[in-house]
Amino acid sequence: MRLIILMLGAFLLSACYEDTDVTMHKAGVYKGKEDSHALSAEERAEVLKQRFNSVQTDR
Amino acid sequence: MARMKFLCDAERCIECNACVTACKNEHEVPWGINRRRVVTIDDGIPGEKSISVACMHCSDAPCQAVCPVDCFYTTDDGVVLHDKDICIGCGYCFYACPFGAPQYPQEGAFGARGKMDKCTFCAGGPEEDNSAAEVEKYGRNRLAEGKLPLCAEMCSTKALIAGDGDIVADLFRSRVVRRGGRPDNWGWATAYKD
């Protein structure tokens, strides 16, 4: 019985843990996941330029 | 390197709201959220003008500057995106944005403010391109498919243009020269400082 109470107490106290790591704010420094792309920026720009010329220019 | 920009030609916009509908349909934007909206100035008065407004993906984005959790980033294409896993829905970006772009869904039984949602220039988010997670959180990633934002691509009068800023500016300049008058590239002075 005492063992069970001790184990229960330890379990309940474990919920009191508080993460002390502080995330510091730095304006303009992105902290999220990295956004990866299949094509490089130059290749993408060329593809999108062709797309623009085919669908958005004046008729 | 390309620098993606939106431009709404107020002389051509006929306030059809097709861009709004296309955006909502393409990205399955929930009720209560409008990533894009059409604003009419001097509505009902002769000479009224309409403009289609969404996130302008500013060169020096105020939303990015004020975000307390740094969830915003600018892609190589100049598109301002954010990570919804980090966003806390504080609303600072809404107050900072000169275009009213950030939107917040109501979540939970008491309608609490959810994570921010805004136009992504059809470029999704930081998840894997066109993965289920990206489509669910941010909508479709058309840029990864080699396409431009649907709102602009399907604009019947070509009032809304989206693409590389240099090409967009050239196209608009040729229009202004053809029709005469002053260029009215609404929002550019605010959004694109460089």
pLDDT, tens digit (0-9, with 9 covering 90-100), for A36-52: 888 888 898 999 999 99
**pLDDT at position B101, please?**
95
Domain boundaries, chain B: 4-188
Which of A36, A37, A56 lies at the smallest CB-CB distance from B161? A56
Could you tell me if residue B130 is left (phi over 0), alpha (psi between -120 and 50 degrees) or otherwise beta? left
Per residue in A1-35, pLDDT tens? 899 999 888 888 777 777 777 767 776 789 888 88
The residue type of B98 is P
Determine the pLDDT at residue B28. 93
Taking chain B (194 residues) in consecutive chunks of 10 residues, what is each chunk's mean pLDDT?
90 94 94 93 91 94 92 93 93 94 88 91 92 94 94 94 94 90 80 80
B64, with CB counted inside 10 A (0-12, 13-18, 19+), is buried
**Closest Cα in chain A, distance from residue B193 (Å):** 17
Q: Which fold has domain B4-188?
A: Alpha-Beta Plaits (3.30.70)
Closest CB to B83: pick one of A25, A33, A58.
Answer: A33
Q: Which two tokens stand for residue A56?
A: 């958005």
Least CB–CB distance from A48: residue in B65, B125, B146:
B146
In this prediction, residue B95 carries a pLDDT of 95
Q: pTM for this structure?
A: 0.85
Let me know: does B7 contact B172? Beta carbons within 8 Å.
yes
- Going from the C-alpha of B81 to that of each of A19, B33, B78, B137, the distances in angstroms are 29, 17, 9, 12
- CB contacts, 8 Å: B167 with chain A: 49, 52-53
Interface of B with A in 81-110 (CB under 8 A): 81-83, 85-86
The pLDDT of residue B127: 92
